[in-house]
């Protein structure tokens, strides 16, 4: 609890800096417990410089970073998740499923066996390191690892997950506003990891890039610089899942602004597109100085919002939250469970909404008489300017994973 409180205080202190600089670069429900098992097995480990995995396009693979090597990301210790790691943090996916009636069952989940695409994930601002940028040391149980588990691990049911450590701008730096060249350092690390992934591990496979907050802002820039309109690279982009940041486009348009050739996704089987939003409670629209999802008046653009639940044709969204809750992604009151995660199917109703200069994902609880610990899914934990930033991915996590699976399948089918 002390650790979480420290993180919350640090994040609140970052408020003024983020506002000036843009995106930051209960009770146990009663019931029975049973066990079910879903299909799947651990993915094959990728082999650097090997033959293309099954599912890659036939023919010669064009490597845009041919011969690229990294002094940092050749080291397995520079990755939190990578399929060939013995200590890959994105393998233990089992959940305790808490049904709408409050009953509980353990659902065994496995990483997908030979999924057709990869996922490249960049985590948000969570480092408590001193100084402007974090170091590259992440131990088990550190906030960086817990956040990767919270936001990225479940995607392993749809793709091979690659999650590098990077020297992100720290909570302390955000709180003081003293970035210096901190953003450039963070971006340079992620670019280095991206080039290493593409050159050494992708074997020409399609990839979904996933990020939240600072991580999403970095990936937005990376897609703009390294993917958008780039021959031999853009056609490998299955989708970009970018949350808790703003991807801008001209009003009424799905593309333009930040990304010139990567539109907002309009169908679950569309590829080469972006799924993006920042979330606020349906009953509490963004306040005038809210940090996320605002229009860029100078550029004449507005924030894109893509509703992943509606895209899938569903009426309600399904949450997944980690039990060992970090600052990002956790919920209160789950009680004692043996699994790493809890799932809350059909917990929320979501839709894209507009209020003044803001275009955002509005989130409401699906039922008025909930026996489950769902209040955190719509709680503005650190104030209305932040909205639901801490749980941007939590409240529809299962839907995001399913969307990634459908996008990956569509990409593989060509």
Is residue 162 in some structural domain? yes
User: From residue 68, how far is each of 48, 49, 191 by CA, in Å?
Assistant: 12, 11, 12
Mean pLDDT by 10 residues, the chain (414 residues): 44 43 39 36 38 44 88 98 97 97 96 97 96 95 96 98 98 82 96 98 97 98 97 95 98 96 98 99 96 96 99 98 81 89 97 98 93 94 96 98 98 94
- Give the whole-angstrom CA distance, residue 395 versus residue 390: 10
In a domain, 275, yes or no: yes
| 47 in a structural domain | no
Q: What angle do CA 411, 67, 135 make, to 5 degrees?
A: 85
Q: Cβ(218)–Cβ(245) under 8 Å?
A: no
How many domains would you assign to the chain? 1
Residue 296, strand partner residues? 301
Q: Is 375 helix (H, G, I), strand (E, B) or coil?
A: helix
Residue 59 has what pLDDT?
A: 53
d(CA 45, CA 190): 22
When computed from its CA atoms, the radius of gyration of the chain, rounded to whole angstroms, is 20
| 162 contacts 201 by C-beta, under 8 angstroms | yes
* In-domain check, residue 54: no
Q: Is residue 56 part of a domain?
A: no
110: domain range? Answer: 2-42+64-413
Question: Could you identify the residue written with the tokens 């049973």?
Answer: 34
DSSP state of 328: T
Q: What is the pLDDT of residue 16?
A: 39
Is 48 inside a domain boundary? no
How far apart CA 297 and CA 294 sit, in angstroms, is 9
Per-residue confidence (pLDDT) for residue 223, from 0 to 100: 99
Cα dihedral 99→312→294→6 (10° resolution): 30
Q: How far apart are CA 188 and CA 288, in angstroms?
A: 33
Token output for 71: 């002094």
């Amino acid at each position: 609890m002390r650790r979480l409180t420290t993180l919350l205080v640090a994040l609140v202190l970052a408020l003024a800096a983020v506002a000036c600089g843009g995106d930051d670069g209960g009770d146990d429900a009663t019931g029975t417990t049973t066990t079910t098992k879903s299909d799947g097995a651990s993915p094959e480990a990728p082999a650097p410089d090997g033959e293309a995995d099954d599912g890659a396009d036939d023919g010669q693979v064009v490597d845009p970073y041919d011969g690229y090597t990294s002094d940092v990301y050749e080291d397995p210790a520079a990755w939190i998740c990578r399929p060939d790691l013995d200590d890959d943090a994105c393998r233990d996916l089992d959940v305790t499923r808490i049904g709408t009636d409050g009953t509980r069952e353990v659902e065994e989940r496995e990483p997908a066996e030979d999924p057709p695409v990869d996922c490249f994930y960049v985590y948000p601002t969570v480092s408590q390191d001193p100084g402007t940028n974090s170091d590259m040391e992440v131990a088990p149980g550190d906030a960086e690892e817990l956040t990767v588990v919270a936001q990225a691990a479940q995607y392993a049911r749809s793709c091979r997950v690659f999650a590098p450590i990077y020297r992100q701008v720290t909570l302390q730096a955000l709180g003081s506003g003293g970035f210096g060249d901190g953003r450039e350092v963070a971006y340079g690390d992620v670019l280095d990891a991206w080039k290493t992934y593409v050159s050494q591990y992708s074997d020409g496979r399609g990839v979904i890039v996933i990020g939240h907050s600072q991580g999403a802002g970095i990936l937005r820039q990376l897609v703009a610089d390294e993917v958008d309109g780039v021959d031999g690279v853009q056609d490998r982009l299955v989708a970009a899942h970018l949350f808790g940041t703003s991807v801008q486009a001209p009003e009424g348009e799905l593309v333009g602004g930040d990304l010139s050739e990567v539109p907002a996704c309009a169908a679950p089987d569309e590829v080469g597109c972006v799924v993006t939003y920042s979330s606020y409670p349906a009953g509490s629209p963004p306040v005038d100085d809210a940090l996320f999802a605002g229009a860029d008046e100078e550029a004449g653009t507005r924030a894109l919002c893509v509703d992943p639940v509606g895209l899938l044709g569903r009426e309600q969204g399904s949450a997944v939250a980690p039990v060992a809750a970090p600052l990002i992604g956790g919920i209160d009151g789950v009680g004692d469970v043996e699994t790493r995660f809890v799932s809350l199917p059909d917990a929320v109703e979501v839709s894209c909404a507009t209020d003044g200069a803001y275009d955002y994902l509005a989130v409401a609880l699906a039922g008025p008489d909930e026996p489950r610990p769902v209040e955190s899914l719509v709680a503005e934990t650190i104030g209305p300017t932040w909205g639901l930033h801490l749980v941007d991915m939590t409240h529809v996590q299962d839907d995001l994973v399913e969307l990634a699976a459908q996008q990956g399948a569509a990409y593989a089918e060509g």
